[in-house]
Amino acid sequence: MVAVVEDTTPKKIPKVKGIPIVGNSIEMGKNPAAFFAKCYQEYGPVYQVNVFGRKQIVIAGAEAAKFMSTKAGREGLRSKEFWDDFVNHFGASKTLTQIDGEEHRRMRNIMRAGFSREAAEGQYHKIAHFIDDSIARDWKSGEMTGVLEAFQYMIVQVIGELMSGEAPLEYVKDIRINILFLLNTLVARVKPKWYLKSPKFKKASKRVDELGEKTVARFMQHAEDGTLPDNLLGDIMRAHFDDPEFVQKRDLAVLLTGPYVAGLDTVANTVSGAVYGILKTPGVLERVQAEADALYAKGTVTSMDVRNLHYIQACIKESMRLWPVAVGQMRTTTKEIEFEGFKIPADEMLIIGTSVPHFMEEYFTDPMAFDPDRYSEERKEHMKPGAYSPFGRGPHTCLGQNLAEVLMGMLISRLFYRKHLALESPDYVLKTKSFPTPGPAMSFKVKVEGERNPATPLTPEVMENV
Ligand code: HEM
């Protein structure tokens, strides 16, 4: 009998065909999610792309998503290098996204409560009030509203009030420009560094520094007065006083303004995509309105009520599937890793294409359709292992995930409860942008046709165990 010897020779990583000089940059820049998915179909789970001459390995698909949470993935991948330039730009020693291992676990523990769903507990009546405030300002009946920008203001108002007790609305544009330039040049590296010399960036950056300094001064004063609040920013300050070597003074500005970097574009893109899907897809709007009306008819809203908005939450999930804000995660290998028969050397900068399965028939029936029912108990398409990763995977998975879900539930339910909205025209097709975070384009507008329900305040929820 002849023994069958398994071929253990590592496979050769295929190079994705591109055009001279720019390589794959243009196609990837236009629609990164579609590009990674197409390459996966053509080349398999590991391939090399060329971004303006920089060769970058991509590992993609459900196996790659699952790999991130395995022991080999947790130990074999780090985040540091992609965020180093960002941290240095602020003259800080660290950010949560840039550290790994034990110090990352420690920092996540400091921030866990402040970024958790519980941070919104007992505050739903206030959240509804902030949303109403922003609806009165930016969603006037009879006018067209730029959806993304209006949500950006709404989110800064809600996140600012919840996490710091103040909403820096006058800084929204500066925060956005700052994020856009910094993520493009220093983290995703799809723009050259000289981009940061632009007067537009310099002005915005100065204003964000000013916001950081003011916030640090306000919280230093709280600390002196013994009035540090019980929220994320309060926790960061307490951690600084407990161990000034770990949470250094020079880290405070970037840590205290961090929630805006993490939550502004991510939430704004997702709820904007949901608005489009709801208005565009026949039969969806009526079900969203019915669920929203039932919620606010209660007069008091709790965290459980918002989590139980099954249909609205499914619309939000569908938006995160079709327009994932994090198309892939960027990591460096800490050592040689083996993945799907390929050997990837140590210190290699990788993109992990976790969103690729979002667009695969194998996991999602008719994947390009906006179909909230795919998340129903009967279908649960997103529960297939590795299929759905809008909040990333592994140790750096989104710390604000549960909070984001309830905030987005409030944003969508309150907006559709309060206003009649319609697309510019029924045949309008959403335009998308790729950077700094992929999602609906700033040009996406809706008609605010009129009021459905008045801004009746909610009664504060009665907290158990208080
Ligand atoms: C639709 C909404 C959101 C989406 C899709 C989203 C997605 C993500 C993803 C994919 C990551 C992982 C990045 C990586 O692994 O490199 C991440 C990290 C993070 N997100 Fe979110 N996010 C959202 C909203 C929020 C909100 C509202 C907050 C808080 C205000 C938040 C806080 C964070 C933090 C602190 C991290 C860093 C975690 C770490 O490095 O350990 N996110 N988010």
pLDDT tens, position by position, 13-42: 999 999 988 899 889 888 999 999 999 999
> pLDDT higher for 7 or 222?
222
Under DSSP, is residue 98 helix (H, G, I), strand (E, B) or coil? helix
| Average pLDDT over every residue of 388-413 | 97
Nearest-Å Rg of the Cα atoms of the chain is 23
CA dihedral defined by 205, 210, 212, 218, rounded to 10 degrees? -170
Chain centroid to CA 273: how far? 13
Question: Does 8 map to a domain?
Answer: no
10 vs 46: CA distance, rounded Å: 12
Range of the domain at 187: 25-451
249 vs 4: CA distance, rounded Å: 63
Mutate which of 96, 104, 266 for ligand 1? The one with the most ligand atoms within 8 Å of its CB, which is 266
Question: Does 390 map to a domain?
Answer: yes
Residues 284-327 pLDDT 10s? 999 999 999 999 999 999 999 999 999 999 999 999 999 999 89
3-state helix, strand, coil in the chain (%, to 5): 55, 10, 35
pLDDT band at 123 (very low <50, low <70, confident <90, very high): very high
| Average pLDDT over every residue of 99-105 | 97
pLDDT > 80? residue 423: yes
Give the model's pLDDT for residue 156: 93
**391 Cα–ligand 1 center, Å:** 6
DSSP bridge partners of 78: 332
Chain centroid to CA 378: how far? 28
- Residue % of the chain over a pLDDT of 70: 97
Give the model's pLDDT for residue 184: 86
User: Any idea which residue has 């409030």 for tokens?
Assistant: 410
CB of residue 390 inside a 6 A radius of ligand 1: yes
**260 Cα–ligand 1 center, Å:** 11
| Average pLDDT over every residue of 410-421 | 98
| Average pLDDT over every residue of 410-423 | 98
pLDDT band at 7 (very low <50, low <70, confident <90, very high): low
CB of residue 354 inside a 6 A radius of ligand 1: no
CATH of the domain at 216: 1.10.630.10
Q: Which atom of ligand 1 is nearest to the CA of 394?
A: 15
CB of residue 325 inside a 6 A radius of ligand 1: yes
Question: Does 60 map to a domain?
Answer: yes
CB of residue 399 inside a 6 A radius of ligand 1: yes
**127 Cα–ligand 1 center, Å:** 20
Q: Which atom of ligand 1 is nearest to the CA of 329?
A: 16
Q: Is the peptide bond before 454 cis (omega within 30 degrees of 0)?
A: no
pLDDT > 50? residue 441: yes
Ranges of beta strands (E only) in 283-418 are 329-333, 337-339, 342-344, 349-353
Give the model's pLDDT for residue 4: 59
User: Any idea which residue has 């809600």 for tokens?
Assistant: 158
Alpha helix segments (H runs only) across 92-141: 101-112, 124-138
Q: Quick one: DSSP state of residue 333?
A: E
CB of residue 409 inside a 6 A radius of ligand 1: no
| Average pLDDT over every residue of 197-202 | 95
DSSP bridge partners of 420: 450
User: Which protein residue's CA is at the shortest distance from atom 31 of ligand 1?
Assistant: 400
Under DSSP, is residue 289 helix (H, G, I), strand (E, B) or coil? helix
CB of residue 329 inside a 6 A radius of ligand 1: yes
| Average pLDDT over every residue of 339-349 | 95
pLDDT > 70? residue 449: yes
CB of residue 410 inside a 6 A radius of ligand 1: no
Question: Does 16 map to a domain?
Answer: no
Give the model's pLDDT for residue 130: 96
Phi then psi for residue 63, to 5 deg, are -65, -40
Going by C-alpha positions, the residue among 449, 409, 208 that lies closest to residue 315 is: 409
Q: How many CB atoms lie within 10 A of CB 449?
A: 13
Question: Does 459 map to a domain?
Answer: no
pLDDT > 60? residue 224: yes
Question: Does 458 map to a domain?
Answer: no
Question: Does 319 map to a domain?
Answer: yes
Going by C-alpha positions, the residue among 429, 435, 437 that lies closest to residue 25 is: 435
Give the model's pLDDT for residue 372: 98
Residues with Cβ within 8 Å of 411's Cβ and at least 6 positions away in sequence, in order, are 131, 151, 154, 155, 158, 267, 271
Q: Which atom of ligand 1 is nearest to the CA of 96?
A: 40
Residue 465 gets the label, from left (phi > 0), alpha (psi -120 to 50) or beta, of left
pLDDT > 70? residue 138: yes
CB of residue 162 inside a 6 A radius of ligand 1: no
Residues 70-84 pLDDT 10s? 999 999 999 999 999
Alpha helix segments (H runs only) across 243-386: 252-256, 258-280, 284-297, 303-307, 310-322
Distances (CA, A) of 406 to 110, 260, 281, 309, 378: 21, 17, 23, 10, 23
pLDDT > 90? residue 85: yes
Question: Does 464 map to a domain?
Answer: no
Going by C-alpha positions, the residue among 296, 265, 283, 273 that lies closest to residue 416 is: 296
pLDDT > 60? residue 1: no
pLDDT > 50? residue 259: yes
Reading the block at residue 133, the tokens are 């405030």
Does the global pTM surpass 0.85? Answer: yes
pLDDT > 60? residue 3: no
User: Any idea which residue has 């009998």 for tokens?
Assistant: 1
Residues with Cβ within 8 Å of 445's Cβ and at least 6 positions away in sequence, in order, are 144, 145, 146, 147, 424
User: Which protein residue's CA is at the shortest distance from atom 16 of ligand 1?
Assistant: 329
Total count of domains within the chain = 1
CB of residue 263 inside a 6 A radius of ligand 1: yes
Mutate which of 80, 127, 398, 403 for ligand 1? The one with the most ligand atoms within 8 Å of its CB, which is 398
Average pLDDT for the chain: 94
pLDDT > 90? residue 165: no
pLDDT band at 6 (very low <50, low <70, confident <90, very high): low
Give the model's pLDDT for residue 466: 43
At 440, which helix (H) or strand (E)?
strand 439-440
